[in-house]
Amino acid sequence: MENRQAPPKPRVGRPSRTSSEAIVAEAEALLRDKGFRGFSMRGLADRLGTAPTAIYTFFESKDALLQALAERALADLWVEPDAGTHWEQAIATWMHDLHDTLLDARWIGDLIALTSSSPQLLQGVGQLAERLRCAGVPFPDAALLAQNLLWTVLGFVMLQIDAEGPDLVPVIEQARHQQGYEELIEHIAIGEYDKLYALTVYNAVAGIRARIET
């Protein structure tokens, strides 16, 4: 009888692509597929073909890995506007670009909460504050306004993501049929979030302009 050797068992340990960069890239792919709430170290290990303990060789905890992911994501969020662009257009463009970026990668918004004092985030807010200072806003106000602008965009995006979720869309659509509010419903944005966000950007810029002019 032929003596057949058993196939070698898969190795458990470090991922075959042994680098923190590879783990971060795979973790980002998992976040895109499953979202922030569906992310787990076990799921990541399965994608890498290894055990969760191997990932901890590179990242001491799940939070440490998420921090690395956030830093990577934030590096692409800060685009310095052309110096020749008027500040109002620069701020409006930044708000629209950030809104679109966050909607394309919806997991980023959750990660930013983990990096409220990270160098990447502070650098970006600082760039925004400097642009406002050059527009005539005193730096203490410019710093606070820059943070407020970031929170405004993040808050809107998170609400929009929830509103576009499969559980809430039917509930929100029911508002169209509420009796006694026909005139109001005709003019508010139900599912028209681009229209509502354009107004958010307009009001943000107008508020800054008013501070400069007073």
- HSE-CB of 49 using CA atoms within 13 angstroms: 8
> Along the 214 residues of the chain, how does pLDDT read in single tens digits?
445 555 444 444 444 455 788 898 899 889 888 877 888 999 999 999 888 888 999 999 998 898 888 777 777 666 565 667 899 998 999 899 889 888 877 777 677 766 666 777 788 888 889 989 999 999 999 999 999 998 899 889 888 888 887 787 788 788 888 888 888 888 888 888 999 999 999 999 999 999 888 8
| Digit-coded pLDDT (tens) for 28-62 | 889 888 877 888 999 999 999 888 888 999 999 99
| CA gyration radius, the chain | 23
pLDDT at 114: 65
Question: Could you give the C-alpha distances from 125 to 4, 59, 78, 99, 157, in angstroms and in order?
Answer: 64, 27, 9, 15, 18
In DSSP notation, 177-208 reads: G-TT-HHHHHHS-SS-HHHHHHHHHHHHHHHH
Packing angle of the helix pair 41-48, 20-34 (nearest 10 deg): 120
**Of 158, 64, 151, whose CA–CA distance to 106 is shortest?**
158
The dihedrals phi and psi of 171, each to the nearest 5 degrees, come to: -65, -45
